[in-house]
Amino acid sequence: MSSNTRYYLDPHTLTYKPVKKNRKLFYRTTLWVSSVIFVLSISAFIFLNSYRLTPHEWILSKQNERLAEEIIQKKDAIIALRDTLVDIEENDDIIYRPFAEIKPIPKDIREAGFGGVDRYREFAGMEYADDLSSVFREFDKLKKQIEIQKKSFNEVESLVQYIDEFYAAKPAIRPISQKDEIYISSHYGMRLHPIYKRWKMHHGIDYAAQIGSPVYSTGKGIVKAAYYASGYGKVVKVDHGFGYLSIYAHLDKYIVKKGDTISRGQLVGYVGNTGSSTGPHLHYEIRKNNQTQNPLYFYMDDLEPYEYDRIVSK
């Protein structure tokens, strides 16, 4: 009896009988299992081999990870810089530009549009492409905003150089003393014209006053004209530079001539009733770049009467 022989208990005869080996099935199963193991091993080898990094590649991949972290940190730094720039821009719009009498820069210009073409498509498909694109986008935006701010400072600086001259020249006081002014007979704006009896724009302020009341230049400048015009009557026009012109009309008499340099508060003539006028008054007009302006916006409100008297000639 071979030691390899196995036995089983036959329940009918209650005797042990040798187990017959099915050698064919055994070989077939073994072959099948071996084939599956072989195929799995080959697949695993190919799969793992394709992901296996050389030491050099491993170092590069680690470096990439670190660079990606740094890129994200740089983006945060750029955003922080932009917050600082926003503070500077606000000061520029609220303090510096108004001081130099220039308008604030609209927000949409400051925030410089970057829509449309995808400037960062070169990063497409790269690892960390989104981070790279967004950090470059933030950086480009910051660069453009800084350029705009730099131009604004240059503009303010060039005007501030002349600021003293500008404030000396700009029309800023009443053309007639409050002591002499009886009342304002007509304001700036639409009005029913006293002579033509229809609604017309009134381009200045009318001060009713006695004939002969002194009329003063409201800023430093050069007399551009002193003559008789059919509507204005005897009129003096003063060019203050910086685009400003002041006009004193219906005068009884003027005492300056074209080309005279005059200072703020200098006597230019006297109230009269010449030209298209229904009674003695001074028509006072201010133009900026040839557009009429409401003179009320030009007066120094905090000027005390004695200060006015000190400015105007006696």
| Residue ranges binding Zn ion (CB under 5 A) | 204, 206, 283
Closest separation in Å from C-beta 185 to Zn ion: 8
Burial of 208 per CB tally in 10 Å (0-12, 13-18, 19+)? middle
Nearest residue (CB) to Zn ion, 204 versus 221:
204
Q: Which two tokens stand for residue 111?
A: 């925030």
As measured in angstroms, the least distance from the Cβ of 305 to Zn ion is 24
* CB closer to Zn ion, 104 vs 275: 275
Dihedral (Cα; 238, 241, 244, 247), 10-degree rounding:
0
Closest separation in Å from C-beta 276 to Zn ion:
9
Cβ distance to Zn ion smaller for residue 132 or 249: 249
Segment (H or E) for 287: strand 281-288
* Residue closer to Zn ion (CB basis): 148 or 229: 229
Kindly state the smallest distance separating residue 226's Cβ from Zn ion, in Å.
Answer: 18
Question: Which residue's CB is nearer to Zn ion, number 264 or number 283?
Answer: 283
Nearer residue to Zn ion within complex by CB, 110 or 250: 250
Taking the complex as a whole, the smallest distance from the CB of residue 206 to Zn ion amounts, in Å, to 4
Task: Report how far residue 218's alpha carbon sits from residue 232's, in angstroms, rounded to the nearest whole number.
Answer: 18
CA neighbor of 287 nearest in space, from 226, 251, 241 = 241
109: nearest Cα among 123, 89, 138, 126? 89
- Choose between 151 and 191: whose C-beta lies nearer to Zn ion: 191
| Whole-number Å distance between alpha carbons of 208 and 281 | 4
The residue at minimum Cβ distance from Zn ion is: 283
Q: Which among 239, 186, 237 is positioned nearest to 209, based on CA atoms?
A: 186
Task: For Zn ion, give the closer residue by CB, 96 or 188.
Answer: 188
> CB of residue 204 vs Zn ion: minimum separation in angstroms?
5
Rounded to a whole number of angstroms, the minimum distance from the CB of residue 207 to Zn ion is 9
Cβ-contact 218, 204 below 8 angstroms:
no
Taking the C-alpha atoms of residue 164 and residue 29, their distance in angstroms, rounded to an integer, is 106
Q: Which residues of 273-311 are buried (b: 16+ CB within 10 A; e: fewer)?
A: ebbbbeebbbbbbbbeeeebbebeebbeeeeeeeebeeb
Distance of closest approach, residue 186 Cβ to Zn ion, in angstroms: 5
Interior CA angle at 37 toward 36 and 41, to 5°? 120
